[in-house]
Amino acid sequence: MSENIQQELPSFYERPNVESEILPIAQGIKIGIERVTNKALGLGGAYGAWGENFNNQALPEFVGTRLGAELPESDVMNLSELGFQHRHHVPDLSAADHLELELEVGARLIRAAAQANGWELGDVDGLLVGMSAPVSEDYVAQIARRAGMREDALKVSVHKACDGSMGALNLAINPDLAVPGQMNVAEELAGKKVLVGGIEGLSRFTSHARDKNALQLFGNGMGLFGVVPGENMKLLAGRSHENYDQEGLLQVRMYYPHSKEMAPGKSLLEVSQAGSSHIRVAGMMHEPQDGLPIVMAGLMGMVKLFVRSGVEVVTDVHLQYQALMEKLGQSGREINVAIAHHANYKINLLKAKQLLKEGVQIPMPWLLHDFGNVSAASCAIAFLRQLQEINPGDHVLFDGFGAGTYYDVMAVSMG
């Protein structure tokens, strides 16, 4: 975590390899995509954002327009201290324009990610996307079709809030997650070309929020990377964990089908067939009252929600990993890098300190100053930002967590 988060750093659109243009929707919406490839690993992907960039100085005025009143100075967050210096927002649009915009954004991301891997779209066998609040129930199927993927390619929509992309990756590489009576996604996709990641239109999602922290923290972001399960990425140890947020410390409205029923011993996740080749994995959320999209308990509430259980899950996976290394005659080998969800810098810093007390020391870089909290997209973006530094044979820990509460942690071997 060596990056100086207090220093003013450039926006995403100013990065030298970002390809940007204006989409002819409403008054014109900017989109930027950066492609990343690591030829030694045989793995690449693309990530980006859409909408106007707001730095920390410009953000309060924008939030004020969303609230319909000036944001009091006492409510302005010290976002640099939390690791965020920029985020991306779109203006208020019609429902039709929001749909068209995010369909075009998703389709362009799929094409760019496939190209970064050197894949033809017709050869891509799977698309797994994490989303907190999809703009439509069949969003993943629609963007796959618009991008040019085959109709019979497997599509999986994963709605586990900020954990969505890591929940998707876990499904793609971990056959032990199969639900009885449902397709074993990992077995189905083993050895095949798969795109995994997250696409989050959080500016749309939070546009009617009244929570002043949420309006400052969240923004748009997206990232997809290529995986050939069992070949360029092999699972070493992993765990998926759910722990219902009884207190409602982070309340999120479910803009996707879910029975909203809970029963003792029953999973919070509901798996359903959304089309002939489209599966939906939908997570139960503690929803806000009065139809609001999101309500947060504050930063200390987020620490309480994520750190304790998060440390437990990471520690358990790390113990599994160490046991496997010992079995393979590689006792003492450690993780090369950890890719963690960027809820904010302070949460991850505290989590790293608590893990150290448990004897778990993992390098966890902070990489996303030019995005806000982009929920399920953050791990995908962080991984792609780190991709050029990863070598064949390196071991990577993915640490996803999100409202609900959901955790997906995996140790993998690369290349």
Residue 118 pLDDT more than 60?
A: yes
Would you say residue 5 has pLDDT above 60? no
Is the whole model's pTM more than 0.85, yes or no? yes
Measure the CA–CA gap between 299 and 275, rounded to whole angstroms. 39
Distances from the Cα of 222 to the Cαs of 69, 74, 373, 401, in angstroms? 30, 31, 11, 17
Mean predicted confidence (pLDDT) in 155-179: 96
For the chain, the average pLDDT equals 95
Q: Which of 288, 228, 256 is nearest to 158 (CA)?
A: 256
Nearest-CA neighbor of 74 among 217, 206, 212? 212
Residue 34 has pLDDT above 90, yes or no: yes
Q: What average pLDDT does this structure show over 215-236?
A: 98
E-strand stretches of 201-284: 221-227, 233-242, 250-252, 269-275, 278-283
Contact 180, 277 (CB under 8 A): no
Distances, alpha carbon 269 to alpha carbons 139, 222, 272, 317, in Å: 19, 23, 10, 21
pLDDT reported for residue 73? 96
- Give the rounded distance of the alpha carbon of 63 from its chain centre: 23
* Inter-residue contact 375 to 401 (CB < 8 Å): no
Q: What is the pLDDT of residue 178?
A: 87
Q: Rounded to an integer, what distance in angstroms lies between the CA atom of residue 156 and that of residue 112?
A: 19
Mean pLDDT of the region 195-212: 97
Q: Which domains, and CATH codes, for the chain? A: 12-414 (3.40.47.10)
Average confidence (pLDDT) over 285-297: 94
The CA-CA-CA angle for residues 236, 242, 245, to 5°, reads 150
